[in-house]
Chain A
Amino acid sequence: DGGITQSPKYLFRKEGQNVTLSCEQNLNHDAMYWYRQDPGQGLRLIYYSQIVNDFQKGDIAEGYSVSREKKESFPLTVTSAQKNPTAFYLCASSTRKGLAGGPSDIQYFGAGTRLSVL
C-alpha cells in the first residue's frame, strides 16, 4: 500500500535534548512538508522541500531543522532551541507535477507524531 509513514507515534523530549521525527513516503511524490498543529490553531508550515537536496523554511522554522537526502524521506529535528515543542506534528507530500492549482497540489498526510516535553 502506498502512503506516508510517520514514526514514532508518541515522543517525549527532555530539557536540552534534540529529537528527530521520521517521515517516509512511497508515493513517488516530489514535494514534502512538515506542519505543526496546536489546539485552537490551524496547521502551520515548518519546512518544505520540492526536490531532493533542497528545502525551504516555512512560517515557523526557528528551532527546527530538516534534511532531504532521499526522495522518500524528510526527517524533522526538533532542537533544544525550540522552547515550546509540545504539539502534533504532521508530515505531508504532493506530486507537484503540472500546473499549480490542480490535483498535483493535493497534499496527503501521514498519521502524525505527538511530541511532549518531560
Chain B
Amino acid sequence: GQNIDQPTEMTATEGAIVQINCTYQTSGFNGLFWYQQHAGEAPTFLSYNVLDGLEEKGRFSSFLSRSKGYSYLLLKELQMKDSASYLCAVNYGGATNKLIFGTGTLLAVQP
C-alpha cells in the first residue's frame, strides 16, 4: 500500500524558521514534491527531490533521504503570507507519474 504521513498542524513566528516533516511508504519512488495550498485555492508547486540531499530555492529548501523514506520542507524568514497548507506528494507510478498526497500540514504564522 501507499502511505504518507505529515503533522496535521504547526505554528511558528514571523521571521523564524520552521521544518515540516514527511515520511512515506510507497511501492515505488520516482520523486517527492512539495506544494503550498492556501485555503480554497489550488496547490502551487514549491520544490521536488529525486536524489538524496538538500535542494534550496530562495527561502524554501527541501531535503530527501530515500533510505529512510523521509523528507522535510524548511521555510526560512517566515512571513505572514506563508500561512497555508503544505502538501507532500510522492511519484510512485514511474512512467505513469501517479502521485500519492499526504493530508497536508496547516502552518499558522503568528506575528
Binding site for B on A (CB under 8 A): 31, 35, 40-45, 48, 50, 56, 58, 90, 94, 96, 100-103, 105-112
Contact = CB atoms under 8 A, between A and B. Distances in A.
B75 interface: no
Given A90-B42, A101-B30, A108-B45, A43 B87 contact: yes
Interface of B: 4, 30-31, 33, 35, 41-45, 48, 50, 87, 89, 91, 94-104
Contacts, number: 66
A109 B42 contact: yes
A22 to B, nearest CB: 15
Nearest to B6: A42
Given A96-B97, A100-B31, A101-B30, A42 B44 contact: no
B99 A45 contact: yes
A50 B96 contact: yes
B94 A100 contact: yes
B100 A105 contact: no
Contact of A42 (B42, B95, B97, B101): B101
Given A42-B4, A90-B42, A109-B42, A102 B50 contact: yes
